[in-house]
């Protein structure tokens, strides 16, 4: 018995072109939302990481591990360094007691100069990688921007120092405008390297604090304004 040959029918060129066109349209429609989601996720992750650094070091001074702590941000090329440092009670007490140089008040006892001093910390995030009490993280400045009031974090960066009861709270660098503390750090998708963050812009977070802690992370929404995260 002779077997009947099966007729194999493939796609016509027109059908293939239609399928390719449909795939192209779907890709174009979904690409922008996907990129926005990806960008938002990158910025959000780093915003949470920076928040964790300042929350953790502030909690250490509240627990009594340290008597004086520092939150520090610097920029080196296309990379930000965010770190924390801790000083224990003995060394801190020496600074507190050493108040005058003759009749002149020493830098540690001045709000505007205290946190800008060069300290010998008991624990440093940039050195003591094995400790859980201090930390240092790095952020790619080409993907995420850090700034204050629309200005990028400069090479000199800035620091914020806390003590348990707020008495020795002090900012320095970009976090001090004359005698006025700047207590808000913007974390965003940069419009360009070194351009800082657009306040109330897309994918913009604001990390806020006070001398007593009160550390809060917010995200800007065109519909709802600043929303606590």
pLDDT, tens digit (0-9, with 9 covering 90-100), for 22-58: 665 655 554 455 456 566 899 999 999 999 999 999 9
- Which residue is associated with the tokens 């348990």? 164
| Structure letter (DSSP) for residue 108 | G
Question: Which residue would you say has higher pLDDT here, 203 or 19?
Answer: 203
Question: Which residue would you say has higher pLDDT here, 1 or 75?
Answer: 75
Q: What is the pTM of this model?
A: 0.82
| Mean pLDDT on 159-178 | 96
- Which residue is associated with the tokens 């239609």? 18
Assess whether pLDDT exceeds 90 at residue 10: no
Question: Which residue would you say has higher pLDDT here, 31 or 127?
Answer: 127
Judge contact between 195 and 145, C-beta under 8 A: yes
Query: Which residues, at least 6 apart from 124, have a Cβ–Cβ distance to it below 8 Å?
Result: 83, 85, 134
In sequence order, what are the beta bridge partners of 122? none
Cα separations (Å) of 13 from 27, 135, 145? 21, 60, 48
Query: Which residues, at least 6 apart from 116, have a Cβ–Cβ distance to it below 8 Å?
Result: 107, 159, 172, 173, 176
Q: What gap in Å lies between CA 90 and CA 92, rounded to an integer?
A: 5
pLDDT at res. 158: 96
pLDDT at res. 40: 83
In sequence order, what are the beta bridge partners of 171? 160
pLDDT at res. 200: 72
| Mean pLDDT on 190-202 | 70
Assess whether pLDDT exceeds 60 at residue 185: yes
Question: Which residue would you say has higher pLDDT here, 107 or 27?
Answer: 107
Structural tokens at position 127:
């050195």
Instruction: State the pairing for strand pair 213-221/225-228.
Output: antiparallel
Structural tokens at position 100:
């005058």
């Amino acid at each position: 018995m002779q077997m009947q040959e099966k007729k194999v029918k493939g796609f016509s060129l027109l059908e293939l072109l239609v399928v390719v066109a449909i795939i192209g349209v779907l890709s174009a429609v979904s690409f922008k939302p996907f990129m926005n989601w990806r960008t938002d996720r990158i910025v959000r992750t780093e915003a949470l990481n920076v928040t964790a650094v300042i929350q953790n070091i502030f909690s250490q001074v509240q627990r009594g591990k340290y008597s004086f702590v520092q939150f520090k941000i610097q920029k080196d090329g296309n990379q930000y360094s965010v770190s924390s440092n801790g000083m224990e009670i003995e060394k801190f007490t020496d600074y507190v007691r050493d108040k005058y140089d003759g009749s002149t008040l020493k830098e540690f006892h001045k709000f505007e100069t205290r946190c800008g001093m060069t300290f010998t910390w008991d624990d440093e995030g940039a050195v003591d990688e094995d400790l859980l009490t201090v930390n240092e993280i790095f952020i790619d400045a080409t993907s995420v921007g850090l700034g204050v009031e629309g200005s990028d974090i400069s090479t000199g960066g800035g620091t914020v120092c806390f003590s348990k009861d707020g008495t020795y709270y002090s900012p320095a660098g970009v976090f001090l405008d004359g005698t006025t503390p700047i207590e808000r750090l913007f974390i965003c998708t940069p419009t360009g390297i070194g351009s800082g963050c657009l306040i109330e812009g897309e994918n913009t977070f604001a990390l806020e604090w006070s001398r007593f802690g009160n550390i809060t992370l917010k995200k800007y929404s065109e519909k709802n304004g600043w929303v606590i995260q």
